[in-house]
Amino acid sequence: MLIKRLLQSCSTCANNDILSNLAPKSHLIQFLAGNANRGLVGNNVLVRFNSSFSFSGGAGRDLSKIERDVDKIAERISGSSNIVVMAGAGLSTASGIPDFRSPNTGIYDNLSKFNLPYPEAIFEIEYFKNNPKPFNTWAKEFFPGVNYLPNKGHYFIKLLENEGKLTKYYTQNVDGLDRLVGFKDEGIVEAHGTFNTASCVECKKSYPVEELKEKLLQDKTPTCPDCKGNIKPDLVFFGEALPKRFFDEAEIDCLFADLLICIGTSLEVYPFAGIADAPRHDTPRLLINYDLVGSFGARPADCALLGDIEHSIDSICNKLNWNDKLKQMQTQNEEKLKIYK
């Protein structure tokens, strides 16, 4: 009833033919983002909802309604030509990068040395302005190309692009491994920002990213030469707006998608998680994840491969006869990365 009342209050949804074809969660994200004056959420900013809060009203997470046959899943991928992929931290765990929320091993469970008031503070903009050291220490470890390389999952998504099947790749990750694979700029949207550029958090002036990297690796705190504000990579912190391109392109890409693939995410951080519910109700959706999440299981064409993500990728590539292509791509790219490192 709450969602129904909220949607009835959303004049944008009621009067827009495109939005009227989208799922309730997508409508609701539009509604919430446009109602900062009502104290719901800031305009288009990064927010997290607890997993107990469900926009789908508990309609998802029903394995009995989900296609899990890898042969049929491979057929859907083979027959698709406008695939939208969304990925989260679970995609990069095979590269050795911990995700954020896994008990004991996740990043948030291993921040006690920083004496944070709560784990998410390390990625909150106001906290960073006053105390940049915790984030800078984390960034030193996870700066792209320093300690970690892309894994099979990244190359699988790149292979979708090479095969002419990928419309757009939306990534929640800030580890930069997607860039190391070589995605074309127009083919990837880094919804939570990038390590490729940096700027001052106060005056917004750009800052040389190589100089930032050098100082972080030397355990120095970089500051703006003009206003002395703290410098950070252009990652989206809690309390900051997502890139304009995310809002310009996500809805329309999903509207015309013939398959959505969701990889390695808890679907807890919005507005990014809203992509999962943005396609039309009858558009096939494939979840490749350790667990069933979000509203998967609530739609008639939902599919899922659960468990180890790399194993699931192997199964799909085997059915599509893509194993050799993927292995060759990975080998060649890793040789290039060794040269540039």
Residue type, 49: F
Helix (H, G, I), strand (E, B) or coil at 305: strand
Active site residue 281: no
Q: Are strands 285-289 and 259-263 parallel, antiparallel or unpaired?
A: parallel
Q: Catalytic residue, from 27, 154, 192, 281: name it.
A: 192
251 neighbors 13 (Cβ within 8 angstroms): no
Contact, 90 vs 171, CB < 8 A? no
Q: What is the DSSP letter of 56?
A: T
Residue 275: φ, ψ to 5°: -60, -35
Q: Which amino acid is at 130?
A: N
Q: Residue 1's CB: how many other CB atoms inside 10 A?
A: 6
Selection from 179, 114, 165 nearest residue 337 by Cα: 179
Give catalytic residue positions. Answer: 192
